[in-house]
Amino acid sequence: MLLSKRVTAVLSASLLTLACQATQAADSLNFVSWGGSTQDAQKQAWAEPFAKAANIKVVQDGPTDYGKLKAMVESGNVQWDVVDVEADFALRAASEGLLEPLDFSAIQRERIDPRFVSDHGVGSFFFSFVLGYNEGKLGANKPVDWTALFDTKAYPGKRALYKWPSPGVLELALLADGVPADQLYPLDLERAFKKLDTIKKDIVWWGGGAQSQQLLASGEAALGQFWNGRVHALQQDGAPVGVSWKQNLVMADFLVIPKGAKNKDAAMKFLANASSARGQADFANLTAYAPVNLDSVGLLKPELAPNLPTAHAQDQVTLDFAYWAKNGQAIAARWNEWLVK
């Protein structure tokens, strides 16, 4: 994820007013995320300005661990106040009673893209899985959509795919096999795995952003499925990589408050700041991931905007977070069996 040397730490008037009115006793809160450049950007765009305005210290922790969050809530000893989680987990955790309902008198729900807000979570950011390719490996033969991953004659070389059982890989396999985007769900698992079987020996799996970048930039993988921000970062560094946004697959992270969080009021104020137009724009300008606030687009750097999912909505497929929240664990069991076959 791309970090810029320049970021505007301008706070919205609403945040300043909120800070002045704050009477809650908490003098700190614990923020948990995935580490690396993502959390560095969240610290710079959200935590530091919030701490200064609200006089509440934001302690960084991580990485996000779903099992640990669940154990804390069930034991009644919750050490985390705000946690960055994947969208499907946010919905599943809410259904299991693990999260606090959000206070939408503080958080402007009506200004959040409705895809990225629920009663118990508000979007942290959203991103797209895009088709990335190494231009040195493929030359002038540029892939257009996910069907290219399954055409090893026209596009020789290894394919890089996300290894975890989460939204993305099964959907792209079905799209490549001719399933219309509006008919993806419920997923036809038999058809998806059968399609993936055709390239299984050509797949190299990646589990994190840095690994995905190394595979693509080095040419170890000729093409594959990548987070859009990682491909953009490679392009900014001058790597010979290209990207197709056709059928880009939208996924999101949510910010949630664990049930029983000790600093719940401060956490609500933090979420209001992080999901504000300025907070979302500042984070997007640092990372090349998209803002969930509808008013953030006008605050983006002009040179960055074309490289965000917000500029490619016409070619977009939003993954069904609710479907994965309900079915993800069963799919994961089958996925893990398939991987070792």
Q: Which domains does the chain have, with CATH numbers?
A: 13-126+252-311 (3.40.190.10), 128-250+321-339 (3.40.190.10)
Task: Quickly state the pLDDT bin for 146 (edges 50, 70, 90).
Answer: very high
CA 263 to chain centre: 25
Task: Quickly state the pLDDT bin for 210 (edges 50, 70, 90).
Answer: confident
Residue in this structure with the two tokens 């197709």, named with its chain if needed: 244
Where does 9-58 have alpha helices with state H? Answer: 13-21, 36-42, 48-54
Residue in this structure with the two tokens 């118990």, named with its chain if needed: 120
Q: Hey, CA dihedral for 205, 206, 212, 215, is it positive or negative?
A: negative
Q: Give the three-class secondary structure for 24.
A: coil
Pairwise CA distance, residues 226 & 289, whole Å: 13
At residue 116, does pLDDT exceed 60?
yes
pLDDT: which is higher, 315 or 8: 315
Q: What is the dihedral of CA 80, 42, 280, 111, to 10 degrees?
A: 0
Q: pLDDT tens for residues 268-310?
A: 999 999 999 999 999 999 988 999 999 999 999 999 988 999 9
* CB-based contacts of 205, cutoff 8 Å, min separation 6: 160, 161, 162, 163
pTM of the model: 0.85
**How high is the mean pLDDT of the chain?**
91
Pairwise CA distance, residues 238 & 174, whole Å: 33
Q: pLDDT tens for residues 147-164?
A: 999 999 999 999 999 998
156: cis peptide before it, omega within 30°?
no
Task: Quickly state the pLDDT bin for 2 (edges 50, 70, 90).
Answer: very low
